[in-house]
Amino acid sequence: MISTLNMSREQIEALLESALRFKSGDDVSKPLAGKSVALVFFNPSLRTRASMQVGIYELGGNAVVLEPGGSSWTLEHRAGAVMDGDKTEHVAEFVRVLERYCVAIGVRTFAALKNWEEERKDPILNAFAQYASVPIINLESAMHHPCQSLADMLTIREKLGPSRKRVVLTWAWHPKPLPMAVPNSFALAAAQMGHDLVIAHPPGYDLDEELIETLGATVTNDIDAAFDGADVIYAKSWGSKRFYGNTDQDIATRAQYRSKWIVDEEKMSRTNNAIFMHCLPVRRNVIVTDAVLDSPASVVIDEAENRLHVQKAILARLLGG
């Protein structure tokens, strides 16, 4: 489960239906009874970590949480590496040992924002997949966050029904560059679900071109026009690929967008009573104003809850047989 790239709309719909059965209590099955799942976090997390741990427990299983460089050894992932630096263990052994104990391995490994051409290939996640004979679940990599995007699709379905909606993914100003896994995966899943997808960002802040050019999205640098008639506003900040390896230049360039690229009441008033979505964590009065985040339009808490139900559906599909 690296991304939704190879999933059909029917497969996504089936996962969402399964998630809804877990959410409603119609499905109380325990497909993980007596089994353990490893969760490997190279980066911090609230929602992903807690919802995976709770979901595995509710499916009858046990979660083993590991933090390379913290609660477990530092990890090398490069094939052929001469390990005379600060890395203690290679992914080759780490994975093959873990799968003697665990039936699946979840991995969170963010972009380092140093070299997009290298990072877009998700080298650490792919090293896990290369050595594993158990399913690998992407808990957010440089390129994708499929658990988030599937929870997002479930939230849109619950709030607005199954029909095609005008879904706007908008960049927002943030004091520092952030990874683009969430917006890449949201755009991909929204297109896979047949939505009318608009992506708004300042010049130079394009998402992954190879991915986006397949989606049939409208891409605009005009945030005002993007909000007109929207059914869904999905806000997220991300770094410019041009400035990977040069954080200071990105920070200097984005300064001009601070006052304009924020979700506020004025922009929301021009939508079609849109719902407001964000994957969280969100910086208040930076990405979105308090007035919008605390309004009835905001569905961010339900969206976070849906992580639990969708991930139970993913785990049941991967491991339930």
Q: Among residues 4, 72, 109, 148, which is the contact residue for ligand CP, using CB under 6 A?
A: 148
User: What is the residue type of 302?
Assistant: D
**Contact stretch for ligand CP (CB under 6 A) within 95-103, 192-200, 257-265, 276-284:** 276-284
CA distance 18 to 178: 32
Q: Is 122 in the site for ligand CP (CB under 6 A)?
A: no
Distance of closest approach, residue 179 Cβ to ligand CP, in angstroms: 10
Q: Which of 70, 150, 139 is closest to 108 using CA atoms?
A: 139
CB-hemisphere CA count at 13 Å for 22? 28
| Nearest residue (CB) to ligand CP, 75 versus 310 | 310
Q: Residue 231: in which H helix or E strand, if any?
A: none
Binding mask 127-146 for ligand CP (x = CB under 6 A): -------------x------
**Contact stretch for ligand CP (CB under 6 A) within 20-28, 41-49, 87-95, 311-319:** 41-49
Q: Is 45 in the site for ligand CP (CB under 6 A)?
A: yes
Q: Among residues 33, 46, 97, 252, which is the contact residue for ligand CP, using CB under 6 A?
A: 46
Q: Among residues 48, 72, 289, 306, which is the contact residue for ligand CP, using CB under 6 A?
A: 48
CA distance 45 to 270: 34
Contact at 8 Å (CB) between 299 and 273? no
| Nearest residue (CB) to ligand CP, 45 versus 130 | 45
Place of tokens 């770094």: 239
Distance of closest approach, residue 41 Cβ to ligand CP, in angstroms: 9
Q: Is 280 in the site for ligand CP (CB under 6 A)?
A: yes
Distance of closest approach, residue 210 Cβ to ligand CP, in angstroms: 23
CB-hemisphere CA count at 13 Å for 62? 6
Here the tokens at position 252 are: 């200097």
Residue nearest to ligand CP (CB): 48
Distance of closest approach, residue 140 Cβ to ligand CP, in angstroms: 6
CA distance 38 to 137: 10
CA distance 267 to 230: 10
Q: Is 47 in the site for ligand CP (CB under 6 A)?
A: yes
Q: Among residues 105, 275, 279, 314, which is the contact residue for ligand CP, using CB under 6 A?
A: 279
Contact at 8 Å (CB) between 303 and 20? no
Roughly what angle, to the nearest 10 degrees, separates helices 300-319 and 47-58?
50
| Nearest residue (CB) to ligand CP, 53 versus 253 | 53
Look at the alpha carbons of 117, 119, 120, 123 in this order and tell me if their dihedral is positive or negative.
Answer: positive
Binding site for ligand CP (CB under 6 A): 45-48, 140, 148, 279-281
